[in-house]
Amino acid sequence: MNNGFSVKDYFLNVLNGEEEIFRTITQFDEEEKLSYQKKLNRFKELHQPNVQANTREKGTALEELVFFLFESTSIFDVAQNIYTSTNEIDVLMTLNSKGRRYLSAGFLDNKFDIFLAECKNYNKTIGVTWVGKFWSLLNSSPTKLGIIFSYHGLSGRRWSDGIGMTKKIYMSKESIQDKIYIIDFNIKDFEQIEEGHSILDIISSKIKALMLDVDEYKKFLSKHPSQE
């Protein structure tokens, strides 16, 4: 190309442009931010000790948050209550055509191609029993990524607790292709999104933390938007 502008420069500019578009569509615009804050405040309000709310109300608030987060990215198709011959899948996420374009460009981990999610509305942390059940579901599915959404998150960090169980499950497979990633997503993570972080960035950071056996996933988060 002329004026000292090489083919490499051209493709780097195209790639940077694609990356900027990807970042833009996976972050909230102002209207989405306000909608998210409203849903999050409702979710938090229902879990206050002085508020009497039934299980259905809390469950609906959680599901609305989760669906809103993934649908707002515009790169996922979200399906609920999918029945297989042996199991029921709570939430199934698959990349749509736009999402697959960004996957091919390398802006997405291939684990996002198709993954499962569970919305657990419990008044306490989630223990090994439910983690084990989720592992069984993932183990018989074509995907190896599963996310458990809840208010209080998974229990403890010992090997006999929920968080410890996710580590044992990850370590149980020798081949990287066979490893199963179960990610905890709780109220503190929902609040990170309110502060400006992307749900995709948070999940990717949690995957890295699980792979490296690091307790604090925030070490892997991209720079906070307000610091850029």
Name the H helices within the chain: 7-25, 30-45, 55-72, 97-104, 128-139, 162-171, 187-194, 199-212
* pLDDT tens digits, 96-119: 998 998 888 888 889 999 999 999
Res 88 pLDDT > 80 = no
Higher-pLDDT residue of 62, 8: 62
Residue 223: the pLDDT is: 57
Measured from the Cβ of residue 129, the count of other Cβ atoms closer than 10 Å reads: 10
Q: What is the percent of the chain where pLDDT is above 70?
A: 82
Residue type, 139: N
Q: Given pLDDT bands bounded at 50, 70 and 90, which one contains residue 49?
A: confident
225 pLDDT tier (thresholds 50, 70, 90): very low
Q: Are 153 and 184 in contact (CB under 8 A)?
A: yes
Here the tokens at position 7 are 């083919």
Residue 1 confidence (pLDDT): 46
pLDDT at 18: 57
Predicted pLDDT at 122 = 87
Residue 52, both tokens = 């009497």
* Mean pLDDT over the full length of the chain: 84
- pLDDT band for position 4 (cuts 50, 70, 90): low
Of 25, 5, 19, nearest to 198 by C-alpha is 25
CA distance 24 to 79: 24
pTM to 2 decimal places = 0.85
Give me 84's structure tokens: 């297989």
Q: How far apart are CA 147 and CA 114, in angstroms?
A: 12
Q: What is the pLDDT of residue 161?
A: 87
Distance in angstroms (rounded) separating the CA atoms of residues 67 and 70? 5
3-state class (DSSP) for residue 79: strand
Q: Which of the pair, 118 or 216, is modelled with greater confidence?
A: 118
Order of strands, edge to edge, in the sheet holding 88-95? 76-83, 88-95, 114-119, 145-149, 181-185
Pick 221 or 164 by higher pLDDT. 164
At 165-177, the pLDDT tens digits run 999 999 998 888 8
What local confidence, expressed as pLDDT, does residue 25 receive?
Answer: 60
Question: 77: which strand partners?
Answer: 94
Residue 93 in contact with residue 70, Cβ under 8 Å?
Answer: yes
Count Cα atoms within 13 angstroms, Cβ side, for 92: 16
Question: What's the pLDDT score for residue 8?
Answer: 38
